[in-house]
């Protein structure tokens, strides 16, 4: 009896071995990667978006804040630092040959002109959109009032 159980266990072991061992090799060769490249090769680097530097972008409507024609990823804006000002605020704008922030950015909410960029214009990227390679989630059918008529 004991011998019989042993023999069955060995036989079972062999069957399982052939299924999961040798057979496993065949199955592994058919494994399909979920990514585009085969399992045993390195990932393909994604296409990277190149910021168009120094290109003026068209405005979609007259009042639109101009789009940022350069990379902004390294420019910090927080409570203490605003690196956009280091180039765009006069007199740095002259030194850096950057367009000067227009005077409207210095007017506070009571219409009084201040000597520094007003708080309501401090977070530049809130209005001046940096470039990203993002496909629109929904189709944009916007038409400016003037040309839409
Ligand atoms: C190192 C200097 C520098 C810094 C810092 C900088 N800019 Fe500029 N920016 C320029 C220059 C120079 C131009 C002129 C166009 C060009 O050469 O790319 C420009 C152009 C622009 C324009 C286009 C203006 C127009 O009339 O079309 C906008 C908007 C702008 N920058 C916004 C920003 C914002 C927002 C930040 C901060 C996130 C920033 N810039 C930081 C140098 C700078
Ligand atoms: C509330 C929205 C808003 C914010 C915030 C804002 N801007 Fe503007 N900006 C505008 C609009 C609108 C214009 C175009 C009309 C004008 O020139 O004032 C403009 C124009 C500009 C121009 C072009 C001026 C010219 O004569 O061509 C520059 C440069 C600029 N902004 C820089 C900045 C910087 C730097 C900051 C952050 C300190 C900033 N802006 C914050 C709305 C904004």
- Residue-wise pLDDT for 80-133, tens only, equals 999 999 999 999 999 999 999 999 999 999 999 999 999 999 999 999 988 888
pLDDT over 80 (residue 48):
no
63: which 2 tokens?
């009042």
Q: CB 128: neighbour CB atoms within 10 A?
A: 16
User: How confident is the model over 37-63, as a mean pLDDT?
Assistant: 82
User: Could you tell me the pTM of the whole model?
Assistant: 0.77
Mapping DSSP to helix (H, G, I), strand (E, B) and coil, where does residue 8 land? helix
What's the confidence (pLDDT) of residue 24? 45
User: Residue 63 CA: which ligand is closest?
Assistant: 2
What's the confidence (pLDDT) of residue 149? 54
CA distance 25 to 113: 77
What's the confidence (pLDDT) of residue 98? 95
> Rounded to 5 degrees, what are φ and ψ at 99?
-60, 135
Which pLDDT band holds residue 47 (cuts at 50, 70, 90)?
Answer: confident
Of 91, 99, 101, 132, the residue with max ligand 1 atoms within 8 A of its CB, to mutate for a pocket test, comes to 99
What's the confidence (pLDDT) of residue 92? 96
Look at ligand 1, atom 30, and give the residue with the nearest C-alpha: 68
- What superfamily would CATH give domain 51-134? Flavocytochrome C3; Chain A (1.10.1130.10)
Ligand 1 interacting residues, C-beta cut-off 6 A? 53-54, 56, 66, 68-70, 72, 75, 83-84, 86-88, 96-99, 124-125, 128
Tokens 């765009």 appear where?
A: 88
Q: Is the Cβ–Cβ distance between 128 and 66 less than 8 Å?
A: yes
pLDDT over 90 (residue 21):
no
């Amino acid at each position: 009896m004991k011998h019989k159980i042993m023999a069955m266990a060995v036989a079972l072991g062999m069957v399982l071995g052939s299924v999961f061992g040798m057979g496993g090799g065949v199955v592994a060769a058919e494994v399909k990667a979920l990514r585009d490249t085969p399992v045993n090769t390195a990932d393909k680097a994604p296409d990277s978006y190149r910021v168009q530097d120094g290109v003026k972008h068209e405005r979609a409507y007259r009042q639109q804040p101009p789009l940022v024609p350069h990379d902004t990823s390294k420019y910090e804006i927080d409570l203490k630092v605003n690196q956009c000002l280091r180039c765009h605020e006069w007199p740095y704008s002259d030194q850096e040959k950057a367009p000067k922030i227009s005077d409207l950015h210095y007017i506070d909410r009571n219409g009084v002109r201040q000597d520094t960029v007003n708080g309501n214009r401090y977070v530049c990227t809130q209005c001046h959109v940096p470039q990203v390679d993002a496909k629109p989630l929904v189709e944009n059918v916007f038409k400016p009032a003037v040309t839409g008529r």
